[in-house]
């Protein structure tokens, strides 16, 4: 039961606090209703003006397909290029809507579109497109992603709707056309950059490999030109085969030569054995210079023919020419033999003795002799060729070694170049197929009418105005420390609130009686009577006066000082109102203006201030103060402040001031002192020490909690009897109740 009752009490407390907050909020809003209404009117006026000057809006649209191509090579990340080659991860190629939107709306691309539009619209700027020129308005250029998909070739795609709003339908279309061109150029540029970046290693390595190939080929070419060889190994094999052939020919030639020499010797023996005449013929042949010269020529021809036969075939012209030459030389040789074997008269030598010798032997001897010469020449030539080939073959091992060193370099360089070119082609194809591709699906259309936003402006003004006014009110209230409610005075100071007085207005009607009693003790002229018409009258003032009289602790208050925390809180007017209330209660009242620096009592009552309290304090010899008093009614006397003295503190704190107040208390039923504010000067503190009671007058909405607390602390040790809430509005009274 105890817990139940406790919960009920907590609920009641919470509900009371909630109601209190709601009432406080309603009080604030009601108090600031004119501010809220003013802000609403300003916002609504601005909205109405915008609605009047707003122009119709046209929108142009186009669709762009952004696709990310993923090839198998990129997916596997196994492109054989080099160690420094960078391969893009396939996961990063999937279309990122946010990234693409930021790219399409980037200032770099938009500025290029602006540059293209300058020919048609010279005044257009980047801010006109991206909306930064007027941030309060909606962005004219929008990029909205739509549904995308994935194709069969691993192509991730996303469709973007690009729209632009403007007051000119043609301009809206041309802006998108410029953007279309910029996007297409950017797409080509990005493909080129991707290709250059992806093949950076290949492009950097390719010139080096080409240079190496060129250098290796040049070295090989110089080697071949220097040694006049294409392939030393092949040439050495050919030389070996030629050497073997020559050796075989040499062997055959020597064998033939041996046979022919044997036959030649045999023929010589046969001829020698025939007769002395044959020996004579042989001797004459050996002694014949021409015969020996022809034999030498035939030998040379045979030697040349043997050399040519080593180089060429039998059908070669040079071989045929040498054979014809040899045939001619043989004919000449036979002719020479016949001349030698005949006498000077043309008859054969030893005609009778030649019958035993066969002419065939002589011809055969000549033929064999020429054959011997030919074989001898051929043997010599073959021997020289064999020696030459052997000498030449001795140089081939070093040539083959050098050739085997140069040729692999050429082959390796060519193979590397071929592989690099193949890699360049395959990598270029793969990179070209990857990355992002922008493709325009729908061309920009002529701007379509979208409205003029007038109704939106009006509705926005009607909604935003009050909200903004309430928001400003709450912000001002948060930083506002002023007091608006009489109840807050009691909570803050723990003083009794003597009353809540509305804003008092001084009467404007002249020669109007206020119903003040007339005791007939003194007579007044008309001008003096008129001063009483300036006293404010209100029932709340009577209540305040009665509340003061009720206190009377421990004795009735004879002298009351009225002060405030700040100047301008209406205490002078309130004092005059209390004077009227006291007079109606048959009290004789003296009102003293103790604000020597800034007096106002004489201004309100239109009295002279040539004499007053300041002069009375200086004149310490006289005990008659009536010369300084200005009566405005038989029951009301006024002591104005008088001329401003040089040292107010000295005068107010003097013994003369205390004596005068005591004298006034004996002469009047009530002495009301209109003192200066507490904060800023010490005058009020000095005067307060001489009075029976002190009353604070605080104007609602002017004094702050901090200022009131400071003023109360100053007067806390004096007889501060209460506080009056001045200029309390009727709305505050109603809401406070």
Domain count, the chain: 4
Interval 459-484: pLDDT, tens = 888 888 888 888 887 787 777 777 87
Q: How confident is the model at residue 599 (pLDDT cuts 50, 70, 90)?
A: very high
Mean residue pLDDT of the chain comes to 76
Does the pLDDT value for residue 81 go beyond 60?
no
Residue 567 lies in a domain: yes
The helix/strand count (H/E) of the chain reads as 25, 14
Q: How confident is the model at residue 695 (pLDDT cuts 50, 70, 90)?
A: very high
Contact 508, 64 (CB under 8 A): no
246 and 311 share one domain: yes
Q: Which CATH number fits the domain that encloses residue 368? A: 1.10.287
Question: What gap in Å lies between CA 575 and CA 507, rounded to an integer?
Answer: 15
26 and 65 share one domain: no
277 and 412 share one domain: yes
Question: What gap in Å lies between CA 544 and CA 723, rounded to an integer?
Answer: 10
Mean pLDDT throughout 87-115? 72
Question: What gap in Å lies between CA 23 and CA 18, rounded to an integer?
Answer: 9
Provide CB contacts within 8 A for 92, sequence distance 6+: none
pLDDT at residue 19, rounded to an integer: 53
Q: How confident is the model at residue 607 (pLDDT cuts 50, 70, 90)?
A: very high
- The pTM of this model reads 0.46
Residue 209 lies in a domain: no
Half-sphere exposure of 296 (CA within 13 A, CB side): 7
Residue 207 lies in a domain: no
pLDDT at residue 595, rounded to an integer: 92
Highest mean pLDDT among 311-315, 385-389, 470-474, 545-549: 545-549
Interval 210-229: pLDDT, tens = 888 888 888 888 887 887 77
Residue 218 lies in a domain: no
Higher-scoring residue by pLDDT: 121, 534? 121
94 and 46 share one domain: no
Supply 174's token pair. Answer: 């041309």
469 and 607 share one domain: no
Question: What gap in Å lies between CA 337 and CA 320, rounded to an integer?
Answer: 26
Q: Which CATH number fits the domain that encloses residue 183? A: 3.30.1890
Residue 427 lies in a domain: no
Mean pLDDT throughout 664-685? 91
Interval 485-542: pLDDT, tens = 777 888 888 888 888 888 887 765 443 334 444 333 344 444 444 455 568 877 888 8
Highest mean pLDDT among 59-63, 232-236, 607-611: 607-611
Listed as own residue / partner, the contacts of 491-495 with beta carbons closer than 8 Å and 24 or more positions apart are 492/705, 492/708, 492/709, 493/696, 493/708, 493/709, 493/712, 493/723, 495/696, 495/712, 495/720, 495/722, 495/723
Highest mean pLDDT among 318-322, 405-409, 590-594: 590-594
pLDDT at residue 15, rounded to an integer: 55
46 and 167 share one domain: no
Residue 213 lies in a domain: no
Does the pLDDT value for residue 168 go beyond 50?
yes
Interval 344-390: pLDDT, tens = 555 555 444 444 445 666 667 677 777 777 778 777 777 888 788 88
313 and 347 share one domain: yes
Q: pLDDT exceeding 70 applies to what percent of the chain? A: 77
pLDDT at residue 521, rounded to an integer: 39
Higher-scoring residue by pLDDT: 716, 283? 716
State the angle between helix axes of 200-227 and 359-433 in degrees (0 to 180), rounded to the nearest 10: 170
729 and 589 share one domain: yes
Residue 219 lies in a domain: no
Helix, strand or coil, per DSSP, at residue 150: strand
Does the pLDDT value for residue 668 go beyond 90?
yes
Owning domain of residue 460 = 2-50+454-478
Interval 587-598: pLDDT, tens = 999 999 999 999
Question: What gap in Å lies between CA 479 and CA 473, rounded to an integer?
Answer: 10
Q: What is the enclosing helix (H) or strand (E) of 633?
A: strand 630-633
402 and 347 share one domain: yes
pLDDT at residue 638, rounded to an integer: 94
556 and 636 share one domain: yes
pLDDT at residue 631, rounded to an integer: 93
390 and 444 share one domain: no
Residue 680 lies in a domain: yes
Question: What gap in Å lies between CA 264 and CA 372, rounded to an integer?
Answer: 8
State the angle between helix axes of 200-227 and 169-198 in degrees (0 to 180), rounded to the nearest 10: 40
Mean pLDDT throughout 413-441? 75
Higher-scoring residue by pLDDT: 140, 84? 140
Question: What gap in Å lies between CA 108 and CA 102, rounded to an integer?
Answer: 11
By mean pLDDT, which of 143-147, 504-508, 661-665 is the weakest?
A: 504-508
172 and 262 share one domain: no
Contact 581, 588 (CB under 8 A): no
Give ∠ CA 180-186-190 in degrees, rounded to 5: 150
In sign, the C-alpha dihedral spanning 247, 248, 249, 253 is positive
Does the pLDDT value for residue 135 go beyond 70?
no
Higher-scoring residue by pLDDT: 518, 452? 452
pLDDT at residue 91, rounded to an integer: 44
Interval 244-280: pLDDT, tens = 888 888 788 888 878 888 877 777 776 666 545 555 6
């Amino acid at each position: 039961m105890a817990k139940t009752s406790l919960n009920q009490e907590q609920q009641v407390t919470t509900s009371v606090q909630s109601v209190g907050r709601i009432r406080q909020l309603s009080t604030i809003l009601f108090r600031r209703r004119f501010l809220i209404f003013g802000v609403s009117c300003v916002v609504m006026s601005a909205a109405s003006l915008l609605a009047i000057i707003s122009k119709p809006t046209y929108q142009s649209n186009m669709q762009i397909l952004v696709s990310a191509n993923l090839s198998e090579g990129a997916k596997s990340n196994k492109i054989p290029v080099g160690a420094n080659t960078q391969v893009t991860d396939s996961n990063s190629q999937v279309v990122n809507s946010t990234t693409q939107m930021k790219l399409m709306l980037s200032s770099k691309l938009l500025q290029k579109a602006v540059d293209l539009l300058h020919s048609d619209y010279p005044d257009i700027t980047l801010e006109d497109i991206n909306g930064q020129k007027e941030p309060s308005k909606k962005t004219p250029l929008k990029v909205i992603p739509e549904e995308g998909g994935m194709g069969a070739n691993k192509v991730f795609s996303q469709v973007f709707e690009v729209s632009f709003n403007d007051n000119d339908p043609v301009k809206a279309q041309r802006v998108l056309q410029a953007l279309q061109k910029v996007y297409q150029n950017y797409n080509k540029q990005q493909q080129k950059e991707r290709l250059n970046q992806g093949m950076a290693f290949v492009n950097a390595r390719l010139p080096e490999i080409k240079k190496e190939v060129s250098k290796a080929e040049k070295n090989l070419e110089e080697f071949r030109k220097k040694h006049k060889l294409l392939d030393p190994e092949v040439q050495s094999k050919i030389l070996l085969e030629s050497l073997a052939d020559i050796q075989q020919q040499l062997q055959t030639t020597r064998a033939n030569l041996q046979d022919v020499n044997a036959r030649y010797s045999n023929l010589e023996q046969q001829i020698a054995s025939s007769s002395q005449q044959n020996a004579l013929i042989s001797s004459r042949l050996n002694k014949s210079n021409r015969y020996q010269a022809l034999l030498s020529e035939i030998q040379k021809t045979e030697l040349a023919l043997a050399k040519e036969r080593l180089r060429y075939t039998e059908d070669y012209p040079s071989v045929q020419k040498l054979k014809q030459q040899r045939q001619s030389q043989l004919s000449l040789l036979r002719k020479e033999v016949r001349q030698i074997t005949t006498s000077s008269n043309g008859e054969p030598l030893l005609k009778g003795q030649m019958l035993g010798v066969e002419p065939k032997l002589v011809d055969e001897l000549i033929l064999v002799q020429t054959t011997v010469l030919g074989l001898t020449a051929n043997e010599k030539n073959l021997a020289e060729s064999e020696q030459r080939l052997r000498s030449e073959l001795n140089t081939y091992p070093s040539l083959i070694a050098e050739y085997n060193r140069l040729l692999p370099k050429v082959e390796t360089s060519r193979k590397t170049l071929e592989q690099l070119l193949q890699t360049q082609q395959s990598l270029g194809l793969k990179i070209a197929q990857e990355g992002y591709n922008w493709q325009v699906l729908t061309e920009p259309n002529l701007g379509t009418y979208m409205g003029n936003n007038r109704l939106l402006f009006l509705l926005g003004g009607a909604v935003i105005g009050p909200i903004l006014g309430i928001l400003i009110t709450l912000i001002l209230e948060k930083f506002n420390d002023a007091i608006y409610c009489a109840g807050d005075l009691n909570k803050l100071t723990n003083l009794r609130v003597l009353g809540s007085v509305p804003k008092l207005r001084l009467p404007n009607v002249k020669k109007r009686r206020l119903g003040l009693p007339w005791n007939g003790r003194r007579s007044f002229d008309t001008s003096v009577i008129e001063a009483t018409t300036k006293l404010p009258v209100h029932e709340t003032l009577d209540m305040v006066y009665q509340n003061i009289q009720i206190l009377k602790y421990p004795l009735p208050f004879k002298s009351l000082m009225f002060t405030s925390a700040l100047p301008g809180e209406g205490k002078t007017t309130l004092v005059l109102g209390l004077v009227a209330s006291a007079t109606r209660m048959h009290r004789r009242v003296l009102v003293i203006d103790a604000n020597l620096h800034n007096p106002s009592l004489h201004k309100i009552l239109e009295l002279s201030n040539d004499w007053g309290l300041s002069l009375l304090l200086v004149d310490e010899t006289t005990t008659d103060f009536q010369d300084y008093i200005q009566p405005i009614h038989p029951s009301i006397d006024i002591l104005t402040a008088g001329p401003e003295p040089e040292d107010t503190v000295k005068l107010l704190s003097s013994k003369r001031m205390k004596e005068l107040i005591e004298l006034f208390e004996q002469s009047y039923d009530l002495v009301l002192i209109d003192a200066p504010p507490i904060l800023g000067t010490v005058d009020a503190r000095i005067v307060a020490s001489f009075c029976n009671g002190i009353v604070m007058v605080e104007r609602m909405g002017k004094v702050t909690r901090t200022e009131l607390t400071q003023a109360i602390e100053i007067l806390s040790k004096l007889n501060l009897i209460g506080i009056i809430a001045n200029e309390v509005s009727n709305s505050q009274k109603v809401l406070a109740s």
